[in-house]
Amino acid sequence: MDANATAKKYEFTGETKEWFGRTLHRIRAIVSFAYVEKGDVGGWIEKEDNLSHVGNAWVCGNAWVYGNAWVCGNAWVYGNAWVYGNAWVCGNASVCGEARVYGNASVYGKASVCDNASVYGNASVCDNASVCGEASVCGNASVCGEARVYGNASVCDNADYMVFKNCWSSMRWFTYTRSDKMWTVGCFRGTGQELIKKAYADSKVSGRCYEAIVKAMEAIEEATVKEEDK
């Protein structure tokens, strides 16, 4: 960490708030960088060890970062988001909305955690993955690649979701989450049957391909349940 670096990019404004024995400090930029202008007031951190002076990382809005949490690289934490515990957010990642990242969790790459989503435990969200809505990622799960965990989905193990690629038309990635048995494809989110119906409305080829994948996923789940019952 670089809390003692000579070239600092922010300072404490003098405005503070107390939270269960911790003192959080409002920050202010003392140089311009990325989308931040010199003099811009940011969010709240407990200490300089929470936010790097190197790179374009920033905490703004009413976001809080405290404990041993660490925000670095070009990562942004904003809105009403909280990052705390031993969590870290780095790379080009973003945490926003009412999202919570805590415990030993990590968010990095170009990943995003937003809305009311939570990432905690030893979980990680990385690459181009996103966790939104009321979704949660916990345990030792790693949500990565092009995965989209939305809605009320819960991922606590790597087997709790699967990612597929539409190789027959749009080349888009799409995600199935086992906890709620829902599919996320672009702006669409629904059940397998809803996905098949929509796909057939687009074209017969899309309908047949999505139907085959939905049925394959159902077969995988059935086989997994039978194995667990042994």
The reported pLDDT for the residue numbered 42 is: 98
How much is the mean pLDDT over the chain? 95
The reported pLDDT for the residue numbered 230 is: 56
Out of 69-83, 92-106, 211-225, which region has the weakest mean confidence (pLDDT)? 211-225
Is residue 85 over pLDDT 50?
Answer: yes
Question: pLDDT tier at 4 (50, 70, 90 boundaries)?
Answer: very low
* 211: phi then psi, degrees, rounded to nearest 5: -60, -40
Residue 175: what residue type? T
Is residue 6 over pLDDT 60?
Answer: no
The reported pLDDT for the residue numbered 228 is: 61
- pTM of this structure: 0.93
Cα distances from 128 to residues 91, 94, 147, 192, in angstroms, run: 11, 11, 7, 24
The reported pLDDT for the residue numbered 91 is: 98
User: What's the pLDDT tens digit per position in 141-178?
Assistant: 999 999 999 999 999 999 999 999 999 999 999 999 99
DSSP 134: T
- Residue 61: other Cβ atoms inside 10 A: 17
Contact 112, 101 (CB under 8 A): no
DSSP 22: E
Return the closest-CA partner of residue 87 out of 123, 47, 53.
123
Here the tokens at position 146 are 């092009």
The reported pLDDT for the residue numbered 1 is: 43
Q: What is the mean pLDDT of residues 86-96?
A: 98
User: What's the pLDDT tens digit per position in 18-31?
Assistant: 999 999 999 999 99
Is residue 224 over pLDDT 90?
Answer: no
Is residue 136 over pLDDT 60?
Answer: yes
The kind and range of the H/E element at 194 are helix 192-202
Return the closest-CA partner of residue 208 out of 174, 168, 179, 173.
168
The reported pLDDT for the residue numbered 5 is: 47
Residues 6+ positions from 155 with CB-CB distance below 8 Å: 123, 135, 136, 137, 138, 141, 143, 149, 161, 177, 179
Report domain extents, the chain: 160-230
Sheet of 188-190, strands arranged across: 161-165, 173-177, 182-185, 188-190
Is residue 65 over pLDDT 60?
Answer: yes
Is residue 229 over pLDDT 90?
Answer: no
